[in-house]
Structure 1
């Protein structure tokens, strides 16, 4: 732990956009409790804007899949080696892994063994697959901050220190969002039915899903020519990938492309403007839940990763879409790998548009929203400060 005569250093390591958002909010909450603290680590633009010195960009850790990571290993190992050396040299008051679980939980033991308090903010889906990892996690970190309510009881049952803090997204998203206001904000016609299409945030993920999502748009356009589509893309690269897929699905005609509005970012507004959402599995499915729109969820991995997950039975959870996991039952349809194709996704989207139980679904989504709305960043900061106080008292005694 940092000496008392030093300005306390808090190191945070985040990967990709969602971790960057969580990290920025956590920094703001910690700064209220420890005004003199300074922050550094692997950070995205939001964390940097919140005052975190970026030793490396968060995007550098954004790799998905068991085997898809292999081409990136030399770069990741270099980042890992440099980070371990720097953290051990600077001895921060606490090390906080913000998501980026595979990366953070492999290096956290180095810091915990050196006497640096370690925290993992966002639990791995250890309850879903490779459950034996829970003991490894307990040895790696002093505290796990859980975003989902069923995670803490799982850790408690294995004697791993964990706290449920709620989900920051639930704090940010209003309980009700008007489709008309969202459409007005996006500058699109207020009348008509819209399908939001979100193929993901990672380049690999967007590359895998874009052809089938674009083909689904073409299928839906053929069945319901009056439908309009809006798509949120996270970067210039993902936009180019999706545009190329749309051009191929359109077969060189302008009619289909004219029905699709592409938006840079603003995923939440795009969801709110829609009547139903087609999206990649991940945090976006929770966001669609909080915005309270019916959805169709798709998940596609590389073939070798998929083969091992299926044949080694590594995945234990009954669902992968967040609303289904939180409800403990299938609220919305979810499709994996070979099922991710236009003739499956298209009819599923139509069924979501025409759901007779839409009001009941929205009410269930609202109940989930209320459960997760706990002022998560403040609770996470309080839990970290409490850990530091207990550690200080333990050292003093």
Structure 2
């Protein structure tokens, strides 16, 4: 029986692993999978040697707090995998954790596949030489990534992006609005301040003030607006709610229609006429949902200066990186001002010709990324199992 070690680091990796295992079992029903798995992967028979929650830490401070435990876990996992002698190891994302494992296992003669390239095209491109020592084969989600690996002799396959496979080419806006019970005849704006507490802390007041600016502009044009703010955790909801209450105390005449939601980010974006979003995977999802957007981001000045030095691209948002041009506006750091974001958003929605052109560019991106990624990933894995 074929034996695969697989490590997913968080919920998104568990979902990728789930679809990969589905495809693998259709190609080769008799396969044993073990490592670190989430509930979806375990539902398909994957055995998790340690809870996935042990790896699901985000942000520098949280990683530092858990560093000793993570290093100890990684060594234990390495010993278990080495003892089991799998045919192949698959690291799903979680590069800081998985590349160490991959390098050690590859040195012992175990083939290693890494699923999801880190953003070497955006910053720290020198990492590619460490990746070469660790990885037998890279599975790349974006079409511009293979060339980077081919230049240094890393075997790579472009498989497309799972989000593009999952989302329809034309989203059902009406269904999403019914599901969320939104008001009729309102312009709907989704505002996504980020998933981390630090991001929400930086963006809460900015987005609230932006909402006030945009609402005023629309009211002057005789239109009503409903704002949706989906937040993933109780902590981020509390941060945003506190900022909202503080703003209402400072500006008691504020009368915008704003709904803070627990989750439902996908539904909120689908239902929206436009999106204001902190940079990240959410920018790609908004593009695949064909939404006009303004990308905005703020961080500490020290972090910003470091990022500027390490950045290799003029763009931050994935839609712009994929298009190779600024198809959506990016207002970052000092340019992230409520008046400017609100006016830019208003101008976007008012430019009907520009919106039509943007839709075509979004469709091109969607078609380019829609590649049946899990099928292609499974085909690569099968080659290693047959080797």
TM-score, normalised to structure 2, is 0.89
State the shift of 1:81 in Å: 2.8
Match of 1:318 in 2: 314
Contact 2:54–2:70, Cα closer than 8 Å, also in 1: no
Deviation of 1:230 (Å): 1.2
Preserved CA contact (<8 Å) 1:17 1:59 = no
| 1:26 positional shift | 1.5
Q: Does 2:381 align with 1:387?
A: no
Aligned to 1:372: 369
Query: Residue 275 of structure 1 is aligned with which of 266, 273, 276?
Result: 273
1:33 aligns with 2:31: no
**Contact 1:184/1:190 (8 A) holds in 2:** no
Report what 2:52 is aligned to: 57
Question: How far off is 1:167 after superposition?
Answer: 0.8
Residue-by-residue CA offset, 1:325-363 (whole Å, 9 max, x unaligned): 110000111233343342333223223322331011001
CA shift for structure 1 position 370: 0.6
Q: Distance in 2 between matches of 1:31 and 1:244?
A: 48
Distance 1:161 1:315 in 2: 25
**Partner of residue 395, structure 1:** none
Report the Cα offset of residue 206 of structure 1: 3.0
CA distance in structure 2 between the aligned counterparts of 1:299 and 1:23, rounded to whole angstroms: 30
Residue 132 of structure 1 aligns to a residue whose secondary structure is: helix
CA contact (8 A) 1:20 1:58 kept: no
- Offset of residue 23 of structure 1: 2.0
Equivalent residues of 1:221, 1:256 under 8 A apart: no
Q: Report how far residue 50 of structure 1 moved.
A: 3.9
Which among 338, 343, 352 is matched to residue 342 of structure 1?
338
CA deviation profile, 1:272-327 (whole Å, cap 9, x unmatched): 111110112111111111100011112344554433233xx221112121110110
The equivalences for 1:248-259 within 5 A come to 248-251=246-249, 259=257
After superposition, the Cα gap between the structure-2 partners of 1:48 and 1:254, relative to the gap in structure 1 and judged at 3 Å, is farther
Task: Tell me if structure 2 keeps the 8 A contact 1:44–1:59.
Answer: no
1:145 aligns with 2:161: no
CA distance in 1, matches of 2:37, 2:197: 19
Determine the C-alpha separation between the residues in 2 that align with 1:53 and 1:246. Answer: 44
Tell me, yes or no, if the aligned pair for 2:188 and 2:272 is still in contact at 8 Å.
yes
Q: Which residue of 1 aligns with 2:87?
A: 93
Query: Structure 1 residue 215: deviation in Å?
Result: 3.0
C-alpha displacement of 1:369: 0.5
Match of 1:333 in 2: 329
CA distance in 2 between counterparts of 1:184 and 1:254 reads 31
* Matches of 1:161 and 1:114, distance apart in 2: 19
Following TM superposition, by how much is the alpha carbon of 1:254 offset from its aligned partner in structure 2, in angstroms? Answer: 8.5
- CA distance 1:353–1:45, shift in 2 (3 Å): farther
Report matched runs for 1:205-354 at 5 Å: 205-225=199-219, 226-251=224-249, 259-310=257-308, 313-354=309-350
Against the structure 1 CA distance between its residues 79 and 334, is the aligned structure 2 distance closer, same or farther, given a 3 Å change threshold?
A: farther
Structure 1: distance between partners of 2:133 and 2:181: 51
1:14–1:42 CA contact under 8 A, matched in 2: yes
Q: 1:156 aligned to 2:150?
A: yes
Q: Normalising to structure 1: TM-score of the pair?
A: 0.87
1:81/1:298 Cα in 2 relative to 1: closer, same or farther (>3 Å)? farther
Tell me the number of residue pairs that the alignment of Structure 1 and Structure 2 aligns. 381
- How far off is 1:42 after superposition? 3.0
After superposition, the Cα gap between the structure-2 partners of 1:301 and 1:14, relative to the gap in structure 1 and judged at 3 Å, is farther
Cα distance change of structure 1 residues 230 and 88 upon mapping to structure 2, 3 Å threshold: same
The Cα shift of 1:244 comes to 2.1
Task: Out of 137-146 and 339-348, give the one that drifted further.
Answer: 339-348
When structure 1 is superposed on structure 2, of 193-202 and 239-248 the one drifting more is: 239-248
Contact between 1:41 and 1:56, CA under 8 Å: does it hold in 2? no
* Structure 1: segments with no counterpart, 5+ residues: 1-6, 391-397
- Residue equivalent to 1:394: none
Offset from partner CA, 1:80-118 (integer Å, 9 cap, x none): 233223322333332211112222223320111122211
